A and B are shown apart, each in its own frame.
Chain A
């Protein structure tokens, strides 16, 4: 008998079906071997798949939402899912089947459904009853963002001010070489001494 867990957020619900890993002494009501998942969005076709599909789809939604907030052009494309913004309010999702003879499923969702879906994924991640094995987990933030401009900017902010001050001191002081003639100065001193 498989366990079922559901996560709901307004018009979206996510159902996870699977078994506990008894070899890890897990409780009866836990799920760590996910056999199937179903994402139900009201008035939209049912989305379902295996664990291999769940993690990339979750990542796609997370990355897309980050791009949306970051004021960049929100486009996410992968082998499994494409998400593009039609306009500020409507998002176009294309789910591609791994089977060659199945046509891609196209969904248009608004900001409300997008945030419902992401909140369902958040609930799943927060749940202690569902364990998504590390083999399937990849970080939700793309590499470009994780090691991106933030650290570089912080580094440059740290290193640039002292470098600029040293170089400006050198430049400024080097100009005095042209104005100051040590030989003339020596002569003057000698004259004064006499």
Chain B
């Protein structure tokens, strides 16, 4: 699925790189991300609370996006699968 979403994922990552010039995409994404977590996750959990903290969730969000962007090809998917299974 990430193959089809790659252009969007890439734009979100790029927007985060230069927030001064183009912060709209990142802000929209982060807003929607938090909305979805509010709707679907257990808000009593400490981990979920950390995800909702906009100042502290950057690392998790960026790493999740990078992980998705690196497995758009079957080669990338297999490499990550092998790596995560060994981890």
Contact = CB atoms under 8 A, between A and B. Distances in A.
Main secondary structure of the interface of A (DSSP, over half): helix
B59 A88 contact: yes
A146 B65 CA distance: 24
Given A110-B13, A115-B70, 17 more contacts: A62-B79, A70-B87, A111-B14, A111-B62, A111-B65, A111-B69, A112-B11, A115-B13, A115-B66, A122-B76, A125-B75, A126-B73, A141-B82, A141-B83, A141-B86, A146-B86, A148-B86
Interface in A69-123: 69-71, 88-90, 110-112, 114-116, 118-119, 122-123
Contact of A126 (B62, B67, B75): B75
A145 B87 contact: yes
Contact of A118 (B65, B70, B82): B70
Interface of B: 6-7, 9-11, 13-14, 16-17, 58-59, 62-63, 65-67, 69-70, 72-76, 79-80, 82-83, 85-87
B76 A110 contact: no
A27 interface: no
A71 B14 contact: no
Given A69-B63, A119-B73, A145-B87, A112 B82 contact: no
30 contacts: A10-B7, A62-B79, A65-B66, A65-B70, A66-B83, A69-B66, A70-B87, A71-B63, A88-B58, A89-B13, A89-B17, A110-B13, A111-B16, A111-B66, A112-B14, A112-B17, A115-B66, A115-B70, A118-B70, A119-B73, A119-B76, A122-B76, A126-B73, A126-B75, A140-B79, A141-B82, A141-B86, A146-B86, A150-B85, A150-B86
